[in-house]
Every structure is written in C-alpha cells, then in structure tokens.
C-alpha cells in the first residue's frame, strides 16, 4: 500500500474523521488546507440509498453549474453539413463524421466530451469500446445525442457536468476549483444537491442522502452532516 505524503498526513490530523461537520465548516476546512502548488479541484462524494443493480434506482443526469467547473472542456461533435457548421460556430473544438471516427480508432483522444446528432449514431456506435469506458459515449438521456448541437456545445463549454451513481451507490462529482472561494463553491454544490434530490427514484426506500463528503484533489475527505444538508435544501 502506498504511503501518504507528509503534507497529506498533516492535514489529516486536523480533521476529526468521526465528526460530521456543517456544510460551511467543511468547505472552510477543505479550502484552508489545500496545499498543492496547482489550483486543486473540489469534489463531492455522495452515498445514496439506492441499489444501482436495479434499473429503476439508477441515478444519473447532468447540470450546468452556476459558476462552471473552472476546467477547459474540449468538445467534439459528430455532425454533418449545417449541423457541423452550427457546432463549430457554437464553440466546438472539433466536428465531423467518418473522418473523425477513423482518427479515434487510430488512437486520437484529444477531447473531453462528445456530442452527436442522432443520424450519426451509427458511426459513433462503432466507437463504443473506446468511448464507453472513458465515459464519453453520447447518450440521449444526457442530452448529448441531439440535433440542437448549439445548445449542447454551449452547455458543455459553460461548465456542464455529467454524473452517475456507481455500482455501490456512491456518486462523485467535481464542483469547481479551490480558487473559486467558499461562496461560489457553495452555490455549485447546492445546485448539484438540489438536482440529485429531484432525481430520487420513487422505488428508493428509507434514507436517500446517506452521507456527504467534500475534498480537494490532494486532500482528505471532510464529512458533512447529511441531515444539515437536507435541511439546507428545504
């Protein structure tokens, strides 16, 4: 097992691993103890009371965060003709069809998000083994298979994030950068939590929001009181 670095260990000592902090206190702790020389991302981990093995309890979706993510997103759009031009005019980094698919099959992956018009899903479908494991496969449920490529591209560039609960019921999502400060991060986290609460499956019984933790890229997680969070959202 890899050993933790000295700075990580020092920060870890400042946090009571048994305590569940208030939302504001948790953010302050994460920001005050971010020690990396780069602008660390701030991430949220939620454990939900769902069983993703059942299709009707899968929680997934997307949201354009109020203050974006602080990351530069390279967007690729599979489209032809006027839709290809629309995508590029909207700010897409790359757009095309078969020629782009061939580049990807050859190992090219210089992009972060993929959008496709419905008529080109036959071309994109052949890339499933490459794009699927990387979470890049276009999906109509996430709005990435659409003829409204302008809107899709603009949302991606504005800081839209996609999220999906994993096989053990935990959902991870990046909500900004340390440089955002507490207020902007709080806005982004609240927006995400509100969306997650709206997506609660009707078949989910008992406590839905079981645990919440906030962390920076290099720092340890800080537990947040889920009861306080639930009251905050009401």
Q: What is the pLDDT of residues 169-186, one digit of tens each?
A: 999 999 999 999 999 999
The last residue of one of the domains, among 141, 157, 173, is 157
Whether residue 1 lies inside any domain: the answer is: no
Angle, helix 149-158 to helix 81-89, in steps of 10 degrees: 30
pLDDT above 70 as % of the chain:
98
Q: Is residue 6 part of a domain?
A: no
Write b or e for each residue in 16-41: b if 16 or more Cβ atoms lie within 10 A of its Cβ, otherwise e.
eeeebbebeebbebbbebbeeeeebb
CB atoms < 10 A from the CB of 51, how many?
17
User: Three-class SS of residue 212?
Assistant: strand
Annotate 124-137 with b (16+ C-beta within 10 A) or e (fewer).
beebeeebeeeebb
Residue 3 has pLDDT above 70, yes or no: no
Does a structural domain hold residue 5? no
Per residue in 8-38, pLDDT (tens digit) is 888 888 888 889 999 999 999 999 999 889 9
Residue 221 to residue 225: CA distance in whole angstroms: 13
Q: Do 221 and 118 reside in the same domain of the chain?
A: no
Number of independent structural domains in the chain: 2
For the ranges 17-26, 111-120, 134-143, the maximum mean pLDDT occurs at: 111-120
Is residue 137 domain-resident? yes
Residue 9 belongs to some domain of the structure? no
Q: Is residue 4 predicted with pLDDT exceeding 80?
A: no
Domain that holds residue 40: 17-69+160-233
pLDDT tens digits, 38-81 = 999 999 999 999 999 898 999 998 899 999 999 889 999 999 99
Asked, for residue 150, whether it belongs to a domain, the answer is yes
User: Residue 139 belongs to a domain with what CATH number?
Assistant: 3.40.50.790
What are the CA-CA distances from residue 208 to residues 7, 18, 126, 162 (Å)?
A: 35, 21, 37, 20
- pLDDT for the residue numbered 17: 81
In this prediction, residue 162 carries a pLDDT of 87
DSSP letter assigned to residue 130: H
Q: Are residues 127 and 166 in the same domain?
A: no
**According to the per-residue pLDDT averaged within each range, which of 11-20, 99-108, 201-210 is highest?**
99-108
CATH number of the domain within which 213 lies:
3.30.190.20
pTM: 0.81
- Domain boundary among the residues 157, 181, 216 is at 157
Mean pLDDT of 132-157: 93
pLDDT (average), residues 204-232: 90
- 46 Cβ partners below 8 Å, 6+ apart? 170, 171, 173, 193, 196, 209, 211, 212
Quick one: pLDDT at residue 1?
A: 41
Coil, helix or strand at residue 10: helix
Do 84 and 151 belong together in one domain?
yes
Residues 130-156 have a mean pLDDT of 93
């Amino acid at each position: 097992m890899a050993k933790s670095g000295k700075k990580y260990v020092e920060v870890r000592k400042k946090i009571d691993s048994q305590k569940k902090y208030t939302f504001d206190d948790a953010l302050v702790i994460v920001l005050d103890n971010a020690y990396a020389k780069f602008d660390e991302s701030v991430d949220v981990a939620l454990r939900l009371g769902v069983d993703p093995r059942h299709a009707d309890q899968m929680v997934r979706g997307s949201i354009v965060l109020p203050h974006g993510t602080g990351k530069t997103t390279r967007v690729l759009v599979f489209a032809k003709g006027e839709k290809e031009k629309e995508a590029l005019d909207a700010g897409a980094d790359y757009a095309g069809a078969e020629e782009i698919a061939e580049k990807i099959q050859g190992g090219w992956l210089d992009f972060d998000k993929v959008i496709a018009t419905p008529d080109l899903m036959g071309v994109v479908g052949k890339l499933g083994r490459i794009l699927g494991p990387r979470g890049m496969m276009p999906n109509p449920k996430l709005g990435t298979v659409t003829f409204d490529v302008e809107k899709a591209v603009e949302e991606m560039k504005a800081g839209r994030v996609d999220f999906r609960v994993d096989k053990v019921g935990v959902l991870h999502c990046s909500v900004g950068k340390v440089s955002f400060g507490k207020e902007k991060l709080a806005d982004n986290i609240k927006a995400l939590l509100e969306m997650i609460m709206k997506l609660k499956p009707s078949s989910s019984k008992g406590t839905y929001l079981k645990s919440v933790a906030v962390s920076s890229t290099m720092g340890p997680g800080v537990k947040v009181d889920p009861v306080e969070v639930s009251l905050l959202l009401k």
